[in-house]
Amino acid sequence: MTAYIIRRLLYTIPIVFGVLMLTFVLFTLVGGDISLEIAGKGATQETIDEIREEYGFNKPLFLAWDSQFINHFKSALTFDFGRARDREPIIGKIKRGVGPSLALTVPMFFGVVIISVSLALVVAFVHGSIWDISAVFICVAGMSIPYLSFILFGQYFLAYKWGVFPVFFSPDLTMAQYVALPALIGIVAGLGGNLRFYRTVMLDEMRSDYVRTAFAKGLDTKRVLFKHVLKNAMIPIITRVVLAIPFLFLGSLLLERFFGIPGLGYLMIGAISSRDYFVINAMTYISAILFVVFNLITDICYSLVDPRVSLE
Amino acid sequence: MSDSENITRTQRPCPSQGAAQLGKGRSLWSDGLRRLRRRKLAMVCFVVVLIYFSLAGFIYLAELFDWRIGPTLWAEQVGESYAPPSSENILGTDIFGQSVCRKTLYGTKISITVALCASFISIAIGVPLGAIAGYFRGVADEIIVWIYSTLSSVPYILLILAFAVVLRDKTIFGYKLTGITAVYLAIGLTSWVGICRLIRGEIIKHKGRDYVLAAMSYGSSERRIIFKHLIPNVFHLIIIDFSLRFVAFIHAEVILSFLGLGEADRPSWGAMINDARIELSRGVWWQMAAATAAIFFISLALNIFGDALRDSLDPKLRIQ
Amino acid sequence: MSILKHKPILLLVGLIAATFVLAGCDSSSSDKDSDEMVLRHALFTKLKGLDPGNMRDVYSVTVASQICETLYQYHFLKRPYEIVPLLAEQMPQISDDFLTYVIKIKKGVYFQDDKCFPGGRGRELKAEDFVFAVKRIANIKYLSQNWSMFDGKIVGLDEFREYTKGCESEDDVDYAREVEGLTASDEHTLVIKLKKTWPQLVGTALADIATAPIAKEAVFSYGKDIVSHPVGTGPFVLKVWHRGSYVELVRNPKFRGEPYPGEGEASDAEAGYLDDAGKIMPFADRVVWTVIEEYQPAWLLFLQGKLDNSPIPKDNYNEAITETRELTPVMKQRNIRLKKFLDPSTFWLGFNMQDPVLGSNKPLRRAISYAIDRDKFIEIFFNGRHLVAHGFIAPLMDSYDPNIKEKGYARYDPEKARELLKEAEQIHGRALPELKMAIPGTDSFSRQLGQFLKRYVTAVGLDVEVEYMDWPTYMEKVNTRSAQMFSSGVRASIPDAEDFLGMFYSKYWAPGSNRFNYLNPEFDRLYEKIEVMFDSPERKELYRKMELLVLEDCPAAFLNHRVVFALHHDWYKNYKPHAFAYGMSKYRRIDMKKRAEYKKLLKTIK
């Protein structure tokens, strides 16, 4: 057991190293020098050189104790990403953005999961009927509508036209108020794909042998559905939920942009339009680390529950 | 449908294989396609997809030969600025009085191009890498698994964005990555992981099978075994995977265009939705509606067709 | 089991109910601040920083100007614009050779309370603080964007900058090091010695936020975080700056209090701008700016009464303004007021004069200029609000030539353009290559702008490729002089056309302000002459002459001058448009009664 955990921990090292390599290649080798832009209008060559020096653009890429490569690793491993283009420490920005992002994504995500699992149960119950077929069709149709259209129409009708929800973030509003509409839109948009997934999970379970046995024993459908199917289907459902958690921290790029929610998605959008590689780099790295950590936790939990896993 | 027969023949494993394998190869494809043909809805969807593809192809031809037809003349002013839909302009006009209908048609080319190129790139990377990893195992496997585990530990959307931002306007080997080139490169370079993982798993499964062992005992080269025997046997998985992934690529292009990372100079669906965002407030809904409908129909058709294809070709994955 | 069975459905119902209950709170929420006077504005881009020594973007300057003050300011009401003392006691005493300025500063001005001071109490402002502010800009390690303003102007300052190059970092620079031309002769007297006459010293430098004193204690204790901890002497104090989201300032309890001006233009009394004359400012308790990067939501928040003022987005123009350029009945019903004013700005499609194709081919450049229909441009993008730029000096300027239209440099003449193109082809020797146009921005507006320009230029027979790029790429292209054509614009910061003329002086080639990389020895000679001239009819003539010199060479197709149509609610008092001043929040006042009435009004409209 301990050996497994240690092995699993060691396994994360190459992944973290890989992510660091990836971000280095992307943002330092391919991305390149942005000192001209930092310098601003009318900057003299000497100012530009100073900035190169400050950000280390003039340092050798590799093969030096003080190379950009080494510094990239150092800053990532100590979580000290330096300052964004607006000179605020990046880590501070990220910390501040996590709250609003989670406030949006957590209700949205669990809303989607709860609603789609309950609906999937219902649909699996009437499996094969016209209701089931139309539900599947609606799901596929919902998946086919672009996410942007959901947001646009939702914002236009519910906020602009009918004024049911606030249009945009404003410091006077409580978090619950400005998150309500985007969360609702996110739930509606995410329902199609999720419902279809959970329906498949339920039906897979319903085809397994133990269900056939249960029916053979003479149990009624309702009992089978709730006692056996749901219980067993919980395993893939929970796996999916746990693995999705690190992504919740990232917030929602498009929803946050449309509604001005000051979360991490908003931060990313801003960084993209101003080419702030420092911020994009930090976000990429941190989200990868979160993913690795959560993966690790799930794996260890599994090995605790199911000893077969650690033998693999 | 003699077309399907042709596919069967070209995809058939070479005659050196055992009779059982040969029989299976034929029945998989012909059975699958027969099953598929029986599904009316799936065939309708297939026709819709074909229409989109041929429209894109047609626009390419038209641009090549300079035919002056609707979609290639999208830049022409056909009416007043923001004219609502009417008998003259079925879908109305945009800010410059350009026909929204023509722009939507032209957008097909951009979307299909991006999705196709991205698919080719990710297949070209994912399939060989997956096959190598699955067949040789050992160090090669370790390295390939390491690369894709790394890529898949970064959230997908973030990864695409990071690639698209960095690649945009970069000059690589004297070729400038403008507009959609950067977009499909970004999508292609980031989305081969799924197919690579799939192929690797399948190859590992198939490696122990009789026909592969037989080919090995004949002394076939490894390259021959991988490309002549193994890949044709898992090829249907690639097709299924991509019929479904295609939709995701189209949607990714829309989002990238919307974020200003896509095609800027020519109409694309994402750019149209982006324009429409502001126009909605003055009651101009037709641009938005046209782009949404265009995306909706191809996505719906591809989703349904992809599902049907999967159900027909891969009975193990069948849901109902 | 039965609990599990019902749980999801119960939760679902609960969740949906909660969503709507929360949303329902919306209308009742904003009543809580009814007794406080709050100014609410929108910011259309993110703030970059609030350190006055290093900022150039309008929005950062707008916010920082409420926190920090300068020696001089523009009079709020008087037109033409007039400079009056703010932190200075009176106008500077200038020596006969115009090289020495002696400035007395006000006594009893205190910095805002901040924890960087011993005991947390702000100390008194001294002349030394101004010396520090300028030396800081000169410090190369500080990387200020404002240095070019002082380059070669003050005795000893360039040497100070040289010295800082040798320092390891910003902290190692010894600010006590003497600069001959910049001293505090006593605690409240500042002496500036110039190398050559600098007529714009007071207007350009001493009324600019760049020289606003910021407490030395704060600079040293906050280090790099000074950008979010400005400690100035102004009427407001920074309370919250939630980056990228909103900024909130509160009234500075220790502000000395300035009286509202008592005199202005003839029409000011009637317009109600003198109602508060003599009262002690500031009036507002809090000032809030919400960052809203799109006009749409801002417009809606304005209509809902959650913002005091707003520009009119082009897509809502018809909703707000009638064909006769008046407010629509809908707006009037809401007691919304309209302010129209000229903005001293010029926008253009610039040509890189060092480009091998464009630079040596004047007919080609003129052809492009004639190919663009500026009236149509203004109609499509600005609802016909802006003015056609016949030259580059903006109409608000004293030196603006009212007859410049007759020179015909900006007319739309596709026939002439085609003729010129034939000539251009001969000069080029073969068929003209495809031209590249750089547009900063990848958003809808930029894309439409690019498409518009391309459409008109290609219509006369030229091939154009539009390159949309993000701001950094664009800057790099322009600064490295590798852009061919580029869309750009400038806004004057002082009521003198020098800002505009400087764009064509050959010593300011990119990355300086001359992005055209324009070179004309005759122009340079005249520029060096006017640079040291004080305002006079003779100088005005020279300005106009120089403008014509440039227009004749056509380094850009000048397109438009902005005209602002701003709306505000009738409760937003003392909103007189000002083209050059930013520290305006202290003048504004909210009529609380009217604001409360608007809420009722909204309900009846709905």
Q: The domain that contains C378 carries what CATH number?
A: 3.10.105.10
A260, part of any domain = yes
- The reply to whether C535 falls in a domain is yes
| Each residue's pLDDT tens digit, A75-92 | 888 888 888 877 788 998
Let me know if residue A8 belongs to a domain: no
Q: CA nearest A33 in B: which residue?
A: B166
The one-letter code for the residue type at C464 is: V
Chain C residues within 8 A of B81 when measuring between CB atoms:
380
Give the ipTM of the model, two decimals please.
0.83
Q: Long-range contacts: C458-463, Cβ < 8 Å, 24+?
A: C459/C371, C459/C414, C460/C367, C460/C370, C460/C371, C460/C414, C460/C417, C460/C418, C460/C421, C461/C418, C461/C421, C462/C367, C462/C368, C462/C371, C462/C421, C462/C432, C462/C435, C463/C432, C463/C433, C463/C434, C463/C435
Q: How many CA atoms lie within 13 Å of C258's alpha carbon, on the beta-carbon side? A: 25
C315 contacts on B by Cβ (under 8 Å): 278-279, 281-282, 284
Q: Which of A168, A181, A220, A274 should be substituted to probe chain C, the one whose Cβ sees the most C Cβ atoms within 10 Å?
A: A168
pLDDT above 80 for B159: yes
pLDDT higher than threshold 50 for residue C570: yes
Q: What is the pLDDT of residue C558?
A: 96
Å between B316 CA and nearest CA of chain A: 11
Enter the DSSP assignment of C282.
P
Contact residues, chain A, for B186 at CB < 8 Å: none
Model confidence pLDDT, tens digit, residues C506-532: 988 877 889 999 999 999 999 999 988
Nearest to A51 among C143, C165, C306 (CB): C143
Work out the pLDDT band at B5, boundaries 50, 70, 90. Answer: very low
Tell me if A228 is assigned to some domain.
yes
Contact in structure between A185 and A85 (CB atoms under 8 Å): no
The answer to whether C511 contacts A266, with C-beta atoms less than 8 Å apart, is no
For C110-134, what is the mean pLDDT?
Answer: 93
Nearest CB partner across the interface for C300, out of A39, A167, A274: A167
C-alpha distances out from residue B188 to B118, B181, B235, B272, C375, Å: 4, 10, 19, 23, 45
Are C467 and B178 within 8 A, CB to CB? yes
Q: Which of A10, A16, A148, A201 to mutate to test the interface with B (most CBs of B within 10 A)?
A: A148
Which range has the worst mean pLDDT, B31-35, C172-176, C307-311? B31-35
Bond from prior residue into C395 cis (ω within 30 degrees of 0): no
Question: How many angstroms separate the CA of residue A76 from the nearest CA in chain C?
Answer: 20
- pLDDT tens by residue, C175-227: 999 999 999 999 999 999 999 999 889 988 999 999 999 999 999 999 888 88
Mean pLDDT of the B69-93 span: 84
The predicted structure's pLDDT at residue C8: 46
Q: Which residue do the tokens 């440099």 mark? A: C409
Of A141, A247, A253, the CB nearest to B300: A141
CB C337 within 8 Å of CB C567? yes
Which of A210-214, B48-52, C389-393 bottoms out in mean pLDDT, i.e. has the lowest? Answer: A210-214
How many Cβ atoms sit within 10 Å of the Cβ of residue A112?
21
* Nearest C-alpha in A relative to B304: A140
Composition of chain C by helix, strand, coil, percent to 5: 40, 20, 40
CB of B97 less than 8 A from some CB of C:
no
Q: Using an 8 Å CB-CB cutoff, list chain C residues near A165.
A: 23, 26
Higher per-residue pLDDT: C50 or A32: C50
> Largest alpha-carbon pair distance within chain A?
86
Across the interface, whether the CB atoms of B170 and A284 are under 8 A apart is answered no
Return residues 25-44 of A near C (CB < 8 Å).
Answer: 34, 36-37, 39-44
Per-residue pLDDT at C481: 87
pLDDT > 90? residue C313: no
CATH number reported for the structural domain that contains residue A136 in this entry: 1.10.3720.10
Mean pLDDT over B205-209 rounds to: 83
Judge whether residue B108 has pLDDT over 50. yes
pTM metric for this prediction: 0.81
C367 domain residue, yes or no: yes
Domain annotation covers residue A277: yes
Contacts with C290 from chain A: Cβ below 8 Å: 168-171, 260
Q: Treating both helix axes as pointing N-terminal to C-terminal, what angle do A147-154 and B269-279 enclose, rounded to 10 degrees?
A: 0
Average pLDDT for residues C372-390, to the nearest whole number? 93
Q: What is the pLDDT of residue C17?
A: 53
Q: Indicate if the pLDDT at residue A16 is higher than 80.
A: yes
Number of residues assigned to chain C: 606
Angle of helix B231-258 versus helix B156-167 axis, rounded to 10: 70
Is the pLDDT assigned to residue B49 strictly greater than 80? Answer: yes
C-alpha to C-alpha distance for C181 and C156, rounded to whole angstroms: 6
Closest chain C residue to the Cα of B273, Cα to Cα: C444
Residue C24's pLDDT is 43
Q: Report the helix count and the strand count for chain C, using DSSP H and E.
A: 19, 23
Q: Is the pLDDT of residue B25 over 80?
A: no
Q: What is the DSSP letter of B98?
A: B
Q: Could you tell me if C123 and C218 are in contact, meaning their C-beta atoms sit under 8 angstroms apart?
A: no
**How far apart (Å, rounded) are the C-alpha atoms in residues C542 and C398?**
13
Among chain B residues, CA nearest to A141: B300
Between B70-74, C151-155, C354-358, C538-542, the lowest mean confidence (pLDDT) is in: B70-74
> In degrees rounded to 5, what are phi and psi of residue A89?
-60, 135
Contact B166 A27 (CB under 8 A): yes
Q: State CA C353 to chain mean position distance.
A: 27
- Looking at the domain assignment, is residue C480 inside a domain? yes
Mutate which of A115, A158, A170, A261 to test chain C, going by most C C-beta atoms within 10 A? A170
Q: Is the pLDDT of residue B282 over 90?
A: no
Q: Which residues of C touch B275 (CB under 8 A)?
A: 444, 447-448
Average pLDDT estimate for C259-279: 91
The conformational region for residue C605 under phi > 0 = left, psi -120 to 50 = alpha, else beta, is alpha
Residue of B48, B158, B249 to mutate when probing chain A, most A C-beta within 10 A: B158
Give the pLDDT mean for B189-196: 91
Contact B95 C380 (CB under 8 A): yes
Provide the domain limits for residue A95: 90-305
Phi/psi of residue A237, nearest 5 degrees: -65, -45
d(CA A264, CA A283): 8
The answer, yes or no, to whether residue B168 has pLDDT greater than 90, is: no
CA distance linking residue C107 with residue C104, whole number of Å = 9
Residue of A149, A203, A248 best to disrupt the B interface, most CBs of B under 10 A = A149
Average pLDDT score over chain A: 83
Is residue C492 assigned to a domain? yes
C350 domain-assigned: yes
pLDDT band at A244 (very low <50, low <70, confident <90, very high): confident
Which residue from B minimizes the CA distance to C294? B278
**Where does the pLDDT of residue C40 fall: very low under 50, low under 70, confident under 90, or very high at 90 and above?**
very high
Distance from CA of C299 to the nearest CA of B (A): 10
| Chain A neighbors of B272, CB-CB under 8 A | none
Neighbours of C529 (CB within 10 A): 12
Is the pLDDT reported for residue C26 higher than 50? no
The total domain count for chain C is: 1
Q: What is the CA radius of gyration of chain A?
A: 24
Q: What is the mean pLDDT of residues B14-41?
A: 61
Chains interfacing with C (3 or more CB pairs < 8 Å): A, B
* Residue B14 pLDDT > 70: no
- Judging contacts by C-beta atoms under 8 Å, the chain A residues touching residue C143 are 39, 47, 50-51, 54
Q: What percent of chain B has pLDDT over 90?
A: 29
Q: Exposed, middle or buried: residue A305 (CB in 10 Å: 0-12, 13-18, 19+)?
A: exposed
- Comparing CB atoms, the residue among C315, C444, C466 nearest residue B281 is C315
Whether the predicted pLDDT of C235 surpasses 90: yes
The residue with greater pLDDT, C484 or A168, is: C484
Is residue A110 situated within a structural domain?
yes
End-to-end CA distance of chain A: 11
pLDDT at B122: 92
CA distance B256 to chain A (A): 11
Which residue reads 């499964």 in tokens? B205
**pLDDT value at C447 more than 60:** yes
Residue C438 neighbours by CB under 8 Å, 6+ apart: C467, C469, C474, C477, C478, C483, C484, C485, C486, C487
Q: Is residue A56 part of a domain?
A: no
What's the average model confidence in pLDDT over B194-209?
88
**B159 within 8 A of A247, measured Cβ to Cβ:** no
CB contact under 8 A, B319 and A14: no
Q: What is the pLDDT of residue C308?
A: 94
pLDDT tens-digit readout, B216-257? 888 888 888 888 888 888 888 888 888 878 899 999 988 888
- Per cent of chain C over pLDDT 90 is 61
Compare all CA atoms of chain A with the CA of C469 and give the residue at the minimum distance.
A273
| Cβ separation C479–A36 shorter than 8 A | yes
- Whether B216 has its CB under 8 Å from any CB of chain C: the answer is no
Dihedral angle, C-alpha B150, B151, B152, B156, nearest 10 °: 150
pLDDT of residue C28: 41
The β-bridge partners of C339 are C566
First-to-last C-alpha distance (Å) of chain B: 26
First to last CA, chain C: 49
* Domain assignment present for A24: no
Nearest residue of B to residue C299, measured between CA atoms: B281
- Do the Cβ atoms of C1 and A227 come within 8 Å? yes
pLDDT exceeds 50 at position C476: yes
- C390-409 pLDDT, tens per residue? 999 999 888 899 899 998 89
**pLDDT grade, residue A311 (50/70/90)?**
low
A235: in domain? yes
Please give the pLDDT value at position C233.
94
Q: Which amino acid is at A59?
A: K
| Distance from C-alpha of B109 to C-alpha of C253, rounded to nearest angstrom | 63
How many CB atoms are located within 10 Å of the residue C265 CB? 15
Q: What is the pLDDT of residue C324?
A: 87
Number of separate domains in chain A: 1
Residue C272 pLDDT exceeds 80 = yes
Q: For residue C573, what are the β-bridge partners? A: C589
Span of A106-120, B191-205, B252-266 with lowest mean pLDDT: B252-266
The two structure tokens encoding residue A73 = 């690793």
B265 touches chain C (CB under 8 A): yes
Report the percentage of chain C scoring pLDDT > 70: 94
Backbone angles phi, psi at A126, to 5 degrees: -100, 20
Q: Does B73 touch chain C (CB under 8 A)?
A: no
The answer to whether A86 contacts C300, with C-beta atoms less than 8 Å apart, is no
- What is the percent of chain A where pLDDT is above 70? 93
Q: Per-residue b/e over C327-349, b at no fewer than 16 CB within 10 Å?
A: beeebeebebbbeeebbbbbbbb
Question: Three-class SS string for C141-175?
Answer: HHCCCCHHHHCCCECCHHHHHHHHHCCCCHHHCCC
pLDDT, mean of residues B138-159: 90
Please state, in angstroms and rounded to a whole number, the distance separating the CA atoms of residues C557 and C177: 48
Residues spanned by the domain of C543: 345-561
